[in-house]
Amino acid sequence: MSALKIGVIYLSGAFVRFWLMNYSGLRQMIEDRVEISTPINSWKRVTEGVHLMKNDISPYDGDLFHETPLGLFAFSWLLTLKQPFLDLFFIFVDALTCFCLQMVAESYSSQALEKEKENKKKYAEDSHGILLTEDQVKRIPLYVIFCYNFNPYTILSCVGRTTSGFNNFFVALTLLFMCKGWLFLCSAALAVATYQAFYTVVFIVPACMYIVQQKKMQKVWPTVSIMVISFAVFLGSLFYLSMLYTDSWAFLTSTYKFLILVPDLRPNVGLFWYFFTEMFEHFRALFVCAFQINCFLYLAPLALRLRKEPMLLAFSLAALSTVFRSYPSISDLGFYFGMLPIWLHLLPYMQQGFVVCCFILFSSGLGPVVWQLWIYMRSGNANFYFGVTLAFATAQIFLITDILFAHIKREFTLVNGTKRELNGKPAKLVLE
């Protein structure tokens, strides 16, 4: 892979972001978009929280600030930077996230190639043509870099200066340490990511699976126990430091309780806001539990089915948490979209690609249009906007199921060959 090509892609992505921030005149509009800024990642709310803290007023007393205390400490330092340097810092963090995903793609693809070479004798002879090749492994990281740097969702999130970029960085760092087999560093990075957004706690399962399989350990439970305990210690330390910084535990109500109970019903690209706006209050507790459990409900069955593919499990969990979390933004979508080229070898087995692309493109374009009709022109209503967000979520579900089914089909083809016959007649695999 040419270092010049990589450098050009990184610099081009940084230039696009910097130009949109400082010379396009669109930054204010982008920052105000509900698809980009949510109550938990809005930079405007960060500035308000820092201002309150500097005036000896707890930002957690009201319903404005929902970032973590250590995040508040870091953001108070960031706000001392002048405008161009602050913009460059956000661009730098975005580039670091991309670099981590690049390293994840390189490491995972190389390991997958070696694994298929070792198991080549177990595969059917006519399926050898679909095995991973050296050329594919070399191209995948380049595609990841290009896909992340020029992904409109990551570009807009960076221009809007959402704090989701920092969470994405720590999730990418978790995946990188997971691929390298660095247990304690992986636990620390995951603890920071979970501290910022508790939905990422689900990555503890694929992280444990990956490290155990990579090191080919015979004693599984001691390794898992060490990782879980170290993760709990790191996370507990972050909570304790937060309490020391704010001198109270009040931040738990404004951060994690806020995420769970969903009191702010400002529209976003998620599914929560519309249902809880229309719902009778005495049903609220039931539906809060029903909605929140979706982020964790699929962990056990997916972990059992993808026990040999923990990276695909991590990707699936990242996508599912984007769909079912209480305050999602397009930054979450852009992050796992940047990982899509890792599954380049599954592309021939995917059947819903065209449908998914059309759904995502049309819903992304229709969202701002319908918002304009509803909020400003008063010729639409909430049903219009929710219909678009529902289509957006449906497209993501189609994408996840299509990739998972493509993996199953490829797995079946490697073992049983490319010819599929049933009672002497041609047959095809169907998802039921």
Predicted confidence at residue 420, as pLDDT, reads 65
| C-alpha count within 13 angstroms, C-beta hemisphere, residue 213 | 18
Mean model confidence pLDDT for the chain: 90
Query: What's the rounded mean pLDDT across residues 378-384?
Result: 86
pLDDT at residue 1 tops 60: no
Predicted confidence at residue 214, as pLDDT, reads 81
Tens digits of per-residue pLDDT, 315-374?
999 999 999 999 999 999 999 999 999 999 999 899 888 999 999 999 999 999 999 999
pLDDT at residue 302 tops 80: yes
Predicted confidence at residue 118, as pLDDT, reads 86
pLDDT at residue 83 tops 80: yes
Q: Count CB neighbours of 68 within 10 A.
A: 25
What number of helices (H) and strands (E) belong to the chain? 21, 2
Q: What is the band of 415 on the pLDDT scale with cuts at 50, 70, 90? A: confident
- DSSP, residue by residue, 284-330: HHHHHHHHHTHHHHTHHHHHHHTTT-HHHHHHHHHHHHHHHSSS--H
> Between vectors from CA 408 to CA 407 and to CA 410, what angle results, nearest 5°?
65
Residue 255 lies in a domain: yes
Distance of CA 103 to the CA centre of its chain: 17
pLDDT at residue 5 tops 90: no
Residue 221 lies in a domain: yes
Tens digits of per-residue pLDDT, 180-203?
989 999 999 999 999 999 999 999
Is the pTM higher than 0.85? The answer reads: yes
Predicted confidence at residue 430, as pLDDT, reads 64
Tens digits of per-residue pLDDT, 16-66?
999 999 998 889 999 999 999 999 999 999 999 999 999 989 899 888 899
Query: What's the rounded mean pLDDT across residues 287-292?
Result: 91
Query: Total structural domains in the chain?
Result: 1
Question: Which range marks the domain in which residue 321 is found?
Answer: 3-420
3-state class (DSSP) for residue 351: coil
Q: Count CB neighbours of 193 within 10 A.
A: 24
Please state at what angle helix 353-371 crosses helix 382-416, rounded to 10 degrees.
160
Do the Cβ atoms of 327 and 259 come closer than 8 Å? Answer: yes
Residue 426 lies in a domain: no
Residue 427 lies in a domain: no
Residue 432 lies in a domain: no
Predicted confidence at residue 24, as pLDDT, reads 87
Predicted confidence at residue 432, as pLDDT, reads 58
Do the Cβ atoms of 329 and 267 come closer than 8 Å? Answer: no
Residue 425 lies in a domain: no
Residue 277 lies in a domain: yes
Query: What's the rounded mean pLDDT across residues 89-116?
Result: 94
Tens digits of per-residue pLDDT, 223-253?
899 999 999 999 999 999 999 999 889 899 9
Residue 163 lies in a domain: yes
